[in-house]
Amino acid sequence: MFKAEHNQLEGQISSSQLIINKRIEVSSAFILGTRRKGTFVNMRKRRLCRLILLQVICTIGLITYLHLVDTSRERETLQNVLRDDNPYGNVRFGGKWSPSEENRCGCSEKVAILVPYRDREEHLDIFLRHMHPFLQRHRLDYVIYVIEQHGEERNFCKGLLYNVGFTEALKDDPTYDCFIFHDVDLLPEDSRNLYTCSKSPCHLSVAIDKFDYNLPYNDLFGGVSAMKTSHYKLVNGYSNLFCGWGGEDDDIARRLKRHMLKISRPDKNVARYKMLSHNQTEKNPQRFKLLGHWLSRAMKDGLKSLKTTGYNVTSTSQRELYTHILVNITKRGVIDYHHKKAI
Ligand code: BGN
């Protein structure tokens, strides 16, 4: 009795097992896309479908892998760029930077970048972010000095600020060999434009976007220029008398010529600059008169007359990206050459 029941049960199990097996077979055949012809399953078709499915999975996997590798590589490059262009990374307080011994450019020049400044915070910010990575690419030993004007004088006295910057920078470090005189609104576009001092004074801002990348006139020396410390002293620096826009650069160009110092220029395809936009500063109506008397002033008006020019250094401080020199300039009177000498 018990055996008969057992055999019956076994028979039921094996028949239901058969049904289940058949269902699995049918559904897998359906999934794999094979068609049954009656009860016969085409084994070759099933194998082919499995192979296709495997290939599809592999291709998707490969594409995903390549995409991940690519994005991580892209991210890595971007990080490098950001690291390279991060002005805060390795600039010492006071805006000082020097290359490591093994990375020196081969020149031992110490360069001071002088930037006369007033009321152009957003320009200064852009300028510093641009200049630090730019100068570091040259592997220069440099410091950026920002010479800020305040006080009663309404007009901007760029030449005087350059002379003060030059004098204060040499007090800070008497070993500077080279000075770069730089407008805050000019950004060099090409890293091949080297900020070093050659044998002769060099006019660096040859091609400015504002002038369609052309030099407006041959004797132009304004914008960005480079001079050896000895040359700047020789020509008595800039005139202290040009306050307001224009003329101070033409005046020093004449001084250089007088000392037979020929102005050199880099290639105009390299010496390219972008000028940051701003409102035109008030032009100095006295600039023509002043220029007319350039020779009689040349040996007095400048570095030599700085102490009697009516300014004092309010403070000198080391800021995160530059050395700040705050200069108080007292109000200038009108210079009348017919009754009084310039100084
Ligand atoms: C000139 C200015 C320069 C200035 C250039 C470029 C004068 C003096 C005129 C006798 N010179 O005209 O100071 O750098 O334009 O903008 O204004």
Torsion sign (Cα): 241, 274, 229, 267: negative
Flag whether 333 is in a domain: yes
Q: Name the token pair of 117.
A: 């400044």
Flag whether 186 is in a domain: yes
Are 225 and 259 members of one domain? yes
* Of residues 338, 316, 205, the one with CA closest to residue 270: 205
Are 124 and 202 members of one domain? yes
Are 123 and 33 members of one domain? no
Range of the domain at 266: 78-342
pLDDT at 315: 98
Are 51 and 92 members of one domain? no
Q: Ligand 1, closest atom to CA 223?
A: 14
* Of residues 143, 132, 202, 137, the one with CA closest to residue 174: 143
Above pLDDT 90, what percent of the chain?
65
Domains in the chain, number: 2
* Of residues 11, 15, 43, 13, the one with CA closest to residue 29: 43
CB 182 within 8 A of CB 204: no
Flag whether 71 is in a domain: no
The pTM score is: 0.75
**Which CATH number covers residue 182?**
3.90.550.10
Torsion sign (Cα): 45, 49, 51, 52: positive
CB 138 within 8 A of CB 191: yes
Are 123 and 249 members of one domain? yes
Condensed to tens digits (0 to 9), the pLDDT of residues 31-90 reads 333 444 444 446 677 777 677 777 777 566 665 554 444 434 433 333 343 445 554 558
d(CA 118, CA 147): 8
Flag whether 73 is in a domain: no
CB 116 within 8 A of CB 185: no
pLDDT at 4: 44
Q: Ligand 1, closest atom to CA 248?
A: 13
pLDDT at 18: 37
Domain end residue (candidates: 30, 63, 96): 63
Flag whether 68 is in a domain: no
pLDDT at 64: 54
Are 10 and 83 members of one domain? no
Mean of pLDDT values over 117-142: 95
Are 207 and 294 members of one domain? yes
Q: What does pLDDT average to over the chain? A: 82
Are 34 and 116 members of one domain? no
Flag whether 270 is in a domain: yes
pLDDT at residue 337 greater than cutoff 50: yes
Helices (H), the chain: 2-31, 43-84, 121-137, 158-172, 229-234, 248-258, 287-292, 294-297
In the sheet that holds 272-275, the strands lie side by side as: 186-188, 272-275, 207-208
Are 108 and 239 members of one domain? yes
Q: Which residues line ligand 1 (CB under 6 A)?
A: 216, 220, 222, 246-247, 249-250, 287-288, 291
pLDDT at 343: 44
d(CA 158, CA 153): 12
Flag whether 70 is in a domain: no
pLDDT at residue 97 greater than cutoff 50: yes
Above pLDDT 70, what percent of the chain?
74
CB 182 within 8 A of CB 124: no
Ligand 1 center from residue 94 Cα (angstroms)? 32
d(CA 119, CA 155): 12
Q: What is the largest CA-CA distance in the chain?
A: 145
Ligand 1 center from residue 44 Cα (angstroms)? 88
pLDDT at 48: 74
d(CA 283, CA 343): 22
Residue 102: pLDDT band (50, 70, 90) is confident
Condensed to tens digits (0 to 9), the pLDDT of residues 206-225 reads 999 999 999 999 999 999 99
* Of residues 233, 221, 230, 216, the one with CA closest to residue 265: 221
